[in-house]
């Protein structure tokens, strides 16, 4: 089969790319291993709500038109939203079509699926950033009898073994799951590493409103000081609940969640925690305050419509004078560990020498320069701070589709 471009993946990013390719009259096909929005259907817990408000899921040709722009979509609503977007884009889509290999050919690429091999000039990888849960090496040393699962496998408090739960990792997924289990009557210990503290609202506005208005979400990959670090930062400690409550460490300790430092080791049935909890919390407080300073400066410079409360600072994170450095799994009653320690993309099916030693793709703002005609979408800080959010896919797809068109043009000129 021949086409000009193959897009792999029909999440919102692949669909946004299809919209732009169609707008630029590029013949293409979208190949999806499952259904549209497959990741949301198969890899998320039941109660998940988006942490971005409804107005913020803007996609090319598609905005929010409902009556609750400041609300947060539930998981079924998110799936329905992406399905509606697919209907709007109406892409040339093949579902249940896993791509098993992408390799070079004489005049471009071969994209292999069980049904057919596609020959094309360009390939866009829109297969997501969060495919494989990253477990720390200590996971291998867990004593028998302790159930362990990742955030991809977690579904609800009711699906857990009876007994205490240790959540490892305090980014968005970890704090949301800790909040849910503790509120359901569970007993949660949260092992906290480096984290990014956030507040749901500030001065009467949603934090994402400020991130959008100040331009912080639009900050470009070629403007940021330390791109490697920016790309590896944990997600904000945020949740999208109707009561707009915070899920930072103070909110969790008020519920009764016990905090420890980073899980550093497991030996003879005992967990060992690093002693850096206080420092990490101070650092996170400092960074949140810096972000709020930027917001205040921007608010002072610009006319902000509507009432905006005066500046204020959140209470510093409360940390016990001497948080525990060890914990005996047997005595503590902990029966389950949930690893909320991040993800990495899965490119095991990519037969091209474009991965670094960690399995990450080498790219320049989504352009894989070592493989001309190959592009990637949807990764953290790909081209902008918002790149891995639904809201970021449209502009990234616009830029990369323009690059793709220029590449095809240069190729045909070279052949002429």
Ligand X SMILES: Cc1cc2nc3c(=O)[nH]c(=O)nc-3n(C[C@H](O)[C@H](O)[C@H](O)COP(=O)(O)OP(=O)(O)OC[C@H]3O[C@@H](n4cnc5c(N)ncnc54)[C@H](O)[C@@H]3O)c2cc1C
Residues near ligand X, by CB under 6 A: 8-14, 31-34, 38-39, 44, 50-52, 98-99, 126-128, 130, 173, 349, 378, 388-391
In the complex, least distance from residue 274 CB atom to ligand X, rounded to whole angstroms: 25
Residue 402: Cβ within 10 Å count: 12
In the complex, least distance from residue 154 CB atom to ligand X, rounded to whole angstroms: 10
Lookup: tokens for 176: 């949301």
Q: For strands 147-150 and 334-339, give the pairing.
A: parallel
236 or 273: CB nearest ligand X: 236
In the complex, least distance from residue 413 CB atom to ligand X, rounded to whole angstroms: 32
Residue nearest to ligand X (CB): 11
210 or 329: CB nearest ligand X: 210
| β-sheet bridge partners, residue 189 | 166, 258
The residues near 199 (Cβ < 8 Å, ≥ 6 apart) are: 207, 246, 248, 288, 314
Question: By the 8 A CB rule, do 118 and 369 touch?
Answer: no
Question: By the 8 A CB rule, do 354 and 364 touch?
Answer: no
Return phi, psi of residue 134, to 5°: -95, 115
Residue 7 DSSP one-character state: E
**Alpha-carbon distance 121 to 185, whole Å?**
55
In the complex, least distance from residue 239 CB atom to ligand X, rounded to whole angstroms: 9
123 or 334: CB nearest ligand X: 123
In the complex, least distance from residue 122 CB atom to ligand X, rounded to whole angstroms: 16
Lookup: tokens for 12: 């919102």
73 or 205: CB nearest ligand X: 73
9 or 323: CB nearest ligand X: 9
In the complex, least distance from residue 159 CB atom to ligand X, rounded to whole angstroms: 17
Question: By the 8 A CB rule, do 126 and 13 touch?
Answer: yes
237 or 388: CB nearest ligand X: 388
């Amino acid at each position: 089969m021949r086409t000009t471009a193959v897009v792999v993946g029909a999440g919102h990013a692949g669909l946004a790319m299809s919209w732009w390719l169609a707008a630029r009259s590029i013949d293409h096909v979208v190949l999806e291993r499952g259904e549209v929005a497959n990741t949301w259907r198969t890899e998320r817990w039941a109660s998940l709500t988006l942490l971005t408000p409804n107005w913020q899921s803007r996609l090319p040709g598609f905005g929010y038109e409902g009556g609750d722009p400041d609300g947060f979509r539930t998981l079924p609503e998110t799936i329905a939203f992406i399905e509606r977007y697919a209907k709007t884009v109406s892409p040339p889509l093949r579902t249940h079509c896993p791509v098993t290999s992408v390799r070079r050919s004489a005049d471009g690429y071969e994209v292999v699926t069980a049904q057919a091999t596609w020959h094309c000039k360009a390939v866009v990888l829109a297969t997501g950033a969060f495919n494989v849960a990253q477990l720390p090496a200590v996971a291998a040393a867990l004593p028998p009898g302790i159930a362990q699962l990742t955030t991809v496998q977690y579904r609800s408090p009711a699906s857990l073994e009876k007994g205490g739960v240790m959540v490892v990792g305090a980014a968005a997924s970890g704090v949301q799951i800790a909040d849910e289990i503790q509120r359901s009557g569970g007993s949660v210990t949260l092992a906290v590493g480096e984290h990014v503290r956030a507040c749901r609202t500030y001065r009467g506005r949603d934090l994402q409103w400020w991130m959008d208005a100040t331009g912080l979400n639009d900050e470009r990959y070629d403007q940021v000081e330390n791109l490697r670090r920016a790309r590896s930062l944990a997600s904000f400690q945020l949740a999208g609940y109707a009561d707009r409550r915070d899920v930072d460490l103070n909110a969790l300790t008020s519920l009764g969640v016990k905090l420890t430092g980073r899980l550093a080791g497991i030996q003879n049935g005992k967990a060992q925690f690093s002693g850096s909890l206080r420092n990490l919390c101070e650092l996170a407080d400092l960074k949140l305050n810096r972000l709020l300073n930027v917001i205040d400066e921007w608010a002072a410079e610009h006319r902000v419509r509507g009432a905006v409360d005066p500046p204020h600072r959140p209470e510093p994170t409360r940390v016990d004078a001497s948080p525990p450095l060890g914990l005996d799994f047997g005595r503590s009653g902990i029966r389950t560990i949930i690893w909320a320690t991040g993800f990495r993309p899965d490119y095991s099916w990519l037969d091209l020498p474009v991965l670094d030693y960690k399995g990450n793709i080498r790219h320049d703002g989504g352009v894989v320069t070592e493989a001309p005609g190959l592009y990637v979408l949807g990764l953290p800080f790909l081209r902008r701070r918002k790149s891995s959010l639904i809201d970021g896919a449209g502009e990234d797809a616009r830029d990369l589709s323009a690059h793709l068109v220029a590449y095809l043009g240069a190729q045909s000129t070279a052949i002429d």
